[in-house]
Amino acid sequence: MAPVLRRLGRFSRLTADEFDQVAAQVATRRRWRAGTVLLAEARATGPHFVIAGWACSQRVLRDGRRQIFDFVVPGEGFGFEAALPGSAGVNVLALTSVETVEAGALLAAVRGGPPGGLWRAIRALRLEEEARRMDHLVRLGRLTAYERAAHFIVEMQRRVTVPEARSFPMPLTQEAMADALGLSVVHLNRVLRQLRGAHVAEIRGGVATIHDPKALAAAAVLAPAAEAPSGPA
Amino acid sequence: MAPVLRRLGRFSRLTADEFDQVAAQVATRRRWRAGTVLLAEARATGPHFVIAGWACSQRVLRDGRRQIFDFVVPGEGFGFEAALPGSAGVNVLALTSVETVEAGALLAAVRGGPPGGLWRAIRALRLEEEARRMDHLVRLGRLTAYERAAHFIVEMQRRVTVPEARSFPMPLTQEAMADALGLSVVHLNRVLRQLRGAHVAEIRGGVATIHDPKALAAAAVLAPAAEAPSGPA
DNA sequence: CGGTTATTTGAAATACGTCAATTCAAGTGG
DNA sequence: CCACTTGAATTGACGTATTTCAAATAACCG
């Protein structure tokens, strides 16, 4: 449960009770193999946290084209907004082998009780997801391929590492990244080579490494979606 | 208030009380001229319904590039999710002269009371917006310019007309459409000419006309975001 | 080790963007 | 009613980013 507690702890300090409450969910741990559809219209799995492995939410068109909406990294969850995945052809797919725990009990507890630290943390997690989606729209609509790749790496650094580390796991195939960034695999590959050649950043063997943070940030154009502001509800 | 009542009425039948409650908001009517920023970090206008004119939510980059996230047509609203516009550089801009009424009182009433017809309608409006955003991501990431334009026209038909009409108002400049669809104005113009030349659809003098619904739907690839499914909360 | 899947590279096609100019539409003031 | 202006739509020519096709490694896995 460590990844979940770390991720939630970014937004809000949890009380000891809340901490235990989250940790207790480890009893619902489940393992899925890569390629499994975790959530779809037919398969109405409830809300889950991912504690190991990577997943994505996506839509596949009839002709095979695919758009990845977002990735789910350890500590993050899916299926929180009752309406979205499942409907509108959106589904959640395990990209690596994945371990999850159920989040339904926590969500219910948080909804019933008074707004506490856990409430704020879960809310912030969802707001961050929303903000990320806005970034994603700008990325797809207005950034060049090079800028998209740079921005993507910066975004992932913020999500996966805390505090920010130069090197972090990135177990995605180039095909998955390309389908997220709206590019062809071939072109993404070339763009990654450019980033590598310029000693800005590289992705190799499931690990991303940032060599030149300043240059990378400059290429990313946008500041990546930060933690959502903690304004009133 | 007619546009708002029509739009809400698509999702759920309102009681006479609810109907009056919505209609009463006409007292808060306000007029804005084209180009006004209705919502931003600095200007914290509350939630509003638009009863006349068109607006958009957007983000402008330092170098002038712009991405439009969504349009707001009469009957729809903005500023509902307390967190988003305002933060993350998102703002809401009046594209034509616009008339609004306040939605804060309605939202508060709906939140306090039991889930009624109005509650469902407002919720559905927001879910539809979410679903539309997913479509938008696919459009930007995976559709060609021709497909994007076709899909956009179909989407607007569903939003603006009820029941579906062949002809409907579309007071957007090609620049605004291009900034929504992630295209240059020049290229959008050419694509619209293609659609016109093929007798599929055309946009002229602030009015969109669909000549060949079947061909247009085929070109759109995606079925446009329908009313969100009315599943449980 | 053999078989499969992912990455990488080259060459050619194409979709889309930029630049620059022209036309068109809609005022506005004389 | 007619210049004159202004902003939007349209078009041509050209450059470039990105895709597609095809093939060759390279990494992974049982």
A144 CA vs D17 C1’ separation (Å): 8
pLDDT more than 90, % of chain B? 85
Average pLDDT over residues A72-96: 86
Please tell me the predicted confidence (pLDDT) of residue B230: 41
- Residue ranges in chain B assigned as alpha helix (H): 2-9, 16-24, 104-112, 117-142, 145-160, 174-181, 185-197, 213-220
Phi-psi label, residue A56: left if phi above 0, alpha if psi -120 to 50, beta otherwise: beta
Of B67, B90, B228, the CB nearest to A141: B67
Please tell me the predicted confidence (pLDDT) of residue A163: 87
pLDDT tops 90 at residue B81: no
Average pLDDT over residues B32-38: 95
- Residue B134 CA, distance from chain mean position: 14
DSSP state for residue B13 in the 8-state scheme: P
Q: B181 in contact with A at a CB cutoff of 8 Å?
A: yes
Contact A137 B135 (CB under 8 A): no
- In contact, B179 and B58? CB cutoff 8 Å: yes
Mean pLDDT over the full length of chain A = 92
**pLDDT, tens only, B176-189:** 999 999 999 999 99
Average pLDDT over residues A29-55: 92
> What are B62's two structure tokens?
């330092």
Cβ contact A28 with chain C strand, < 7 A: no
Average pLDDT over residues A27-35: 96
Q: A137 in contact with B at a CB cutoff of 8 Å?
A: yes
DSSP-based three-state secondary structure for A49: strand
Q: B221 in contact with A at a CB cutoff of 8 Å?
A: yes
- Which stretch of DSSP H or E encloses residue A3? helix A2-9
Mean pLDDT over the full length of chain B = 92
Q: pLDDT confidence of A229, banded at 50, 70, 90?
A: very low
pLDDT tops 80 at residue B85: no
Single-letter code of the amino acid located at A186: V
Average pLDDT over residues B105-115: 89
**pLDDT, tens only, B144-170:** 999 999 999 999 999 999 888 999 999
**Contact residues on chain B for A182, CB-CB shorter than 8 A:** 140-142
Contact A133 B138 (CB under 8 A): no
Which nt is closest to the CA of A193, judged by C1'? C8
Cβ contact B174 with chain D strand, < 7 A: yes
**pLDDT, tens only, B188-207:** 999 999 999 999 999 999 99
Contact B137 A221 (CB under 8 A): no
Q: How far apart are CA A24 and CA A101, in angstroms?
A: 10
Please tell me the predicted confidence (pLDDT) of residue A112: 83
Q: Secondary structure of B108-134 in the HEC alphabet?
A: HHHHHCCCCHHHHHHHHHHHHHHHHHH
